[in-house]
Amino acid sequence: MNLDFTEEQEALKKTARDFMTKTWSSALVRELEEHPTGLKEDIWRQIAELGWLAVAIPEEYDGVGGRFMDLIVLFEEMGRACFIAPFFSTVICTLAIVAAGSEEQKKEILPRVANGEMVLSLALAEPSARYDAAGIATRAAANKDEYVINGTKLFIHDAQVAHCFLCVARTRTEGPPEDGITLFLVDAKSPGVKITPLHTIADDKQNEVIFENVKVAKGQVLGPIEKGFPVIEMLLEQAAIAKCAEMVGGADWVIENCTSYAKERAQYGKPIGSYGIIQHYLAEMWTEIGIAKRFTYYAAWLLDQGIPCRKEVAMAKAWASEVYKRWTRMGVQVFGGIGTTREHDMGLYYRRARQAALLFGDPDSLREKIAQEIIL
């Protein structure tokens, strides 16, 4: 097992870092936080031209044919830059289509995703705010050659710009919660779809999406009918580790900038970095962020190899969530009063850390999962 990046991944990392440095700024982040769509279309076209949207798509569907670890490289750099775009949502749904879609669905959707024409959004979470099968209450009832979907989805990222939803619904109520779950590809412009923006601490474009008598052709079912939950479990693991990569990227920005500031900011006649307490804080920050990175890379490697890693994914997400929250809080303290202002970039990472910790499993629920895996 080698967790180091390959030469190709190092090149991808450099390209992504250079792109973000040249085209992405904290001023642009703040502008898009206030923008109703949060999408800067010229940059979206550029990342499509760079092939980033095609990384996880097989070559026969106009993709690059890359691996999950290649995506981790991109997610880390995007987290470092507080990147705002429907990249995460689209790529996560793409992974499900590659894994479970029919040949017709792949030919229809994947080339359009690869060239930037189609944005996807995962309609999974509901008012219960749970990521297990028992939390899925949205119903899809069969009616001749179509299904009719009714239900409410919450915290749906990038629904405001999505062309298609990957909607998780229940087609059968009897039996264990994991049974009867079916996945649907739903046109976002379908009659009966209502999208309402939600205001979050991270301004990360979450929405409430209501499906009211939304009709979907049976040909738009993704994967096996009433056996879709294994696909969702796979997707949740991939999404959790992708979110870990974003958090690790953001944490790297925090440690680098806190260290630089501690060397420059003088108090009582000498840099604050010369005081033992600040040195200890930064050393512990560096250590814990490094552990989060290794947890993330290890879980991503296991996913790439197709090795079961439910426990490792939970460990990585729980640890990275707590570390990112803790050290963005300490980052605010290192910067002092200026770090508490909305104008300072530290606040961008502080707010995102608190939002990311709740997505695809919060630390408490993940620790419960770890306990189950070690048979406690």
Tens digits of per-residue pLDDT, 173-212? Answer: 888 999 999 999 999 999 999 999 999 999 999 999 999 9
Is the pLDDT at 2 greater than 80? The verdict is no
Mean pLDDT for the stretch of residues 71-99? 97
305: domain CATH number is 1.20.140.10
For all residues of the chain together, what is the average pLDDT? Answer: 95
* pTM of the entire predicted model: 0.95
Check whether 1 has a pLDDT greater than 80: no
pLDDT digits (tens, 9 = 90+) for 212-242: 999 999 999 999 999 999 999 999 999 999 9
Residues 265 and 367 placed together within one structural domain of the fold: yes
Task: Tell me how many domains the chain contains.
Answer: 3
Beta strands in the chain (DSSP E): 120-123, 139-143, 146-157, 164-170, 181-187, 193-198, 206-217, 221-222, 266-267, 270-271
pLDDT at 342: 82
Q: Is the alpha carbon torsion for 248, 203, 91, 132 positive or negative?
A: positive
Give the model's pLDDT for residue 217.
Answer: 96
* The pLDDT value given to residue 338: 84
67, 167, 170 from 183: Cα distances, Å: 24, 6, 9
Same domain, yes or no: 251 and 358: yes
2 within some domain: no
Range of the domain at 61: 7-118
Is there a single domain that holds both residue 211 and residue 341?
no
pLDDT one-digit tens code per residue, 103-117: 999 999 999 999 999
pLDDT of residue 191: 98
Residue 337 confidence (pLDDT): 81
In a domain, 350, yes or no: yes
pLDDT digits (tens, 9 = 90+) for 14-35: 999 999 999 999 999 999 999 9
What's at 71, amino acid-wise? L
Question: Given 180, 196, 226, which residue is the final one in a domain?
Answer: 226
Residue that is written with structure tokens 């040249």 in the block: 22
CA separation for the pair 191, 125 (Å, rounded): 21
Q: Are residues 89 and 141 located together in one domain of the fold?
A: no
Residue 151 domain-assigned? yes
pLDDT (0 to 100) of residue 122:
98
